[in-house]
Structure 1
Amino acid sequence: MFEYVKAWYENKFSDPHSVTLLLLLLATMALFYFFGALIVPVLVALVIAYLLDWPVVHLEKLGFGRFTATVIVMLIFSGLMLTLIVGIGPILWQQTSNLVQETPHMLERGKALLLHLPEQYPSLITATQVKSIVMNVETKALEFGQVLLSVSLTSLKDVAAWLIYLILVPLLVFFMLKDKLELILSAEKLIPKQRRLIIQVWQEMNQQIMNYIRGKVFEILIVGSISFIAFSVFDLRYAALLGVLVGLSVLIPFVGAALVTIPVAAVAMFQFGLETQFWTILIIYGVIQALDGNVLVPLLFSEAVDLNPVFIIVAVLFFGGLWGFWGVFFAIPLASLVKALLNAWSSQHIDNNKEESSL
């Protein structure tokens, strides 16, 4: 066993470039694990910088300087964000408040429907089973409400931190865009000279991350907008809030769509009952999800995602449990990174075998 492990180590890490890549990977993971909460503003700024680098580069191609292009893009982006906050923020806040107030009534209506099931379908479900289900749902709802209350109270303490982030993040984004080349050169000076595999992985991942972030933003906007329009056409209450939730659900592959189905179905059932409108809305929602998964995702992520769905789900569970929201958001790029690392070490193994055979 020891000889097998020794042979595997010599094949994979006999080259200094492999060792450098492994050490950099371990150092990065340790940094995120121990200091992840402290560098959240940097992560947010990095995501936005990746998103905005594309228009900055295109403005440079039109003859603008890097500084001028950065200023123009930052002004447009800030204007769009302010417009969304001022225009949509109050609507979402009002609809959220109304939905929270009506949630107890929705739960009571759902409870009443469940209690009538034994009368309508006595051969399928009993009154005892229904009471057990109702008790479990009430317990989970109470626990969820307590969690929301604790989170809201904790968020009040972090208001000052959020205000600071609103200042720091735009500044970080501006300087990341303006001084992109200088920052890359500075980072290269910190990496040892044995960096061939690091460069190989970076070149493979850099474009994938950029495509993924840009594609994910477009997917959120498209899916959220189409959902809002569809819900509004059928006069579903809280259409704006539900549209935003459906758009944000694409951040969690596969799981997000299933979770958002619950509020969509609950609001539709509370408003229309088990009538034609209810089933129509569920069918429309299913069509939107099907088009997203089978048409939109392949179009937007054809260059960024080449992973089996099993690997994506495992990545969501693993990295989400490790780093929370950011682990979920970057689950696919992180899974692609693991694939790139395995490819790099495999290619290194092949190169070593070629060198040995040539000798």
Structure 2
Amino acid sequence: MFKVLQDWFHRYFSDEQAVVLAILLVLGFAVVLSLGGMLAPVLTGLVLAFLMQGLVNAFERIRLPQIVAVWLVFILFISALALCMLVLLPLIWRQLSGLFNELPRMLGEWQSLLLLLPERYPNLISDAQVVQLIESIRGEMGQFGQWAVSFSLSSLPMLVSIMIYLVLVPILVFFFLKDRELIGQWFRSYLPAERPLITRVAREMNKQIANYIRGKVIEIIICGVVTYIAFAALGINYAALLALLVGLSVVVPYIGAVVVTVPVALIGLFQWGMSDQFLYLMVVYGVIQALDGNVLVPLLFSEAVNLHPVAIICAVLLFGGLWGFWGVFFAIPLATLFKAVIDAWPRTELVQSSPG
């Protein structure tokens, strides 16, 4: 057994660059897992700067000075943040409050419809099953109400955290963009002078992960805006809230679109019933999903992430369980990084000694 482990270690860790890369990866994951809560503003600023670096590079390619490009991108970022805070968030909050106020009436109407099912389909469903379903729904709504009350009671610390983020994150984004070369030189000064393996993995990460994250943000914005325009034109209630859900659903491949279909269909049914407007809504929603999967995704991700669907789902479950929403958002980039590391990892072929 010891010989097997020794051969395995010699094959994958005989190169000192592989050891250095392994130490860096372990330290990085340990810092995020143990100090992620305290360093959340720094990590958020780093991610946002990483997303906007492509726009800075585009301005620099048209011969703008680096500091001018950074200021232009930073002003665009602050303008977008102000637009979200002053326009989008109040609209989402109003629609969310309206939905909470409508929930009791919606549940009452759905309960009436459920009670009619045993009369219409006596061979498929019984009164006891309907009563059990209604009781389970009431239990879930009771738990949701308790969560809403506890959430409202703890909203003051959350507001303080939001204010801290609103102050610190833009400052950090600016300095990450402005001093990226200085920070990069400082970090590289602690690495070995000869580091072709680390450089190769870093280039692969920058090529695939950066393009993926930026493309995913663009996809979220386009899907959300197009969905809001379509839903508002159809006149469905809570159009902004549903558009936000549809935009965020693209973060989780294969699963997000299926999950978001439920609230879209339920709100449409509650508002219009099985009418022509409801059919128009579902057709429009289906067209948006089809265009996203067959037109927008190929355009944004010309270099497709070569991961099996099982690997993507496992990555979403693993990183989502570790880091919540951000883990889900970065699941595919992290899985891509893991694959890039494995593909680039040096391997030493073992020499088999011949018997005798």
Q: TM-score, normalised by structure 2?
A: 0.93
Judge conservation of contact 1:16–1:194 (CA < 8 Å) in 2: no
> Given the superposition, is the C-alpha separation of residues 85 and 162 from structure 1 closer, same or farther in structure 2, using an over 3 Å criterion?
closer
1:189 aligns with 2:189: yes
Aligned to 1:100: 100
Moved more, 315-324 or 255-264: 255-264
Hey, what does 1:129 align to over in structure 2? 129
Matches within 5 A, 1:151-300: 151-193=151-193, 195-300=195-300
**Residues 133 and 194 from structure 1, CA distance in 2 versus in 1: closer, same or farther, beyond 3 angstroms?**
farther
Q: How much does 1:65 deviate?
A: 1.3
SS of match in other structure, 1:165 = helix
What is the CA–CA distance in structure 2 between the aligned matches of 1:22 and 1:177, rounded to whole Å? Answer: 28
Q: Which runs of 4+ in 1 moved over 4 A?
A: none
> Percent of pairs identical after alignment?
47
Return the alpha-carbon distance in structure 2 between the equivalents of residues 127 and 5 of structure 1: 63
**Shift of residue 355, structure 1, vs aligned partner:** 11
The unaligned stretches of length 5 or more in structure 1 are none
Tell me which amino acid in the other structure corresponds to 1:86.
L
Structure with a larger share of its residues in helix: 1
8 Å contact kept, 2:213–2:333: no
* Structure 2 unaligned residues grouped into runs of 5+: none
Instruction: Name the structure 2 match of 1:70.
Output: 70
Q: How many residues align?
A: 352
- Once the two structures are overlaid, the 10-residue window that deviates more, 191-200 or 93-102, is 191-200
Give yes or no for contact 1:211–1:301 (8 Å, CA) kept in 2. Answer: yes
Larger mean CA deviation between 287-296 and 10-19 belongs to 287-296
Q: What secondary structure does 1:190 align onto? A: coil
Deviations 1:332-357 (A, max 9, x none): 10110110111122xx11xx34999x
Please state if 1:22 is matched with 2:60.
Answer: no
Q: Deviations over 1:267-320 (max 9, x none)?
A: 111111122322332232233223222332222123252212211111000000
2:5 maps to 5
Per-residue Cα deviation, 1:130-182 (whole angstroms, up to 9, x for no partner): 22222222212222332333334333213222212111111111111111111
Name the CA distance, whole Å, in 2 between partners of 1:334 and 1:242: 28
Please give the alpha-carbon distance, in whole angstroms, between the structure 2 residues aligned to 1:12 and 1:295: 41
**Cα RMSD between the aligned structures?**
2.0
Deviates more, 1:256-265 or 1:327-336: 256-265
d(CA) in 2 for partners of 1:333 and 1:182?
25
Task: Measure how far apart 1:238 and its partner are.
Answer: 1.2
Q: How does 1:47-62 map to 2 (within 5 A)?
A: 47-62=47-62
Alignment CA distance shift 1:287-1:355 (3 Å): farther
| SS of the residue 1:158 aligns to | helix
Where 2:141 maps in the other structure, the secondary structure is helix
Match of 2:317 in 1: 317
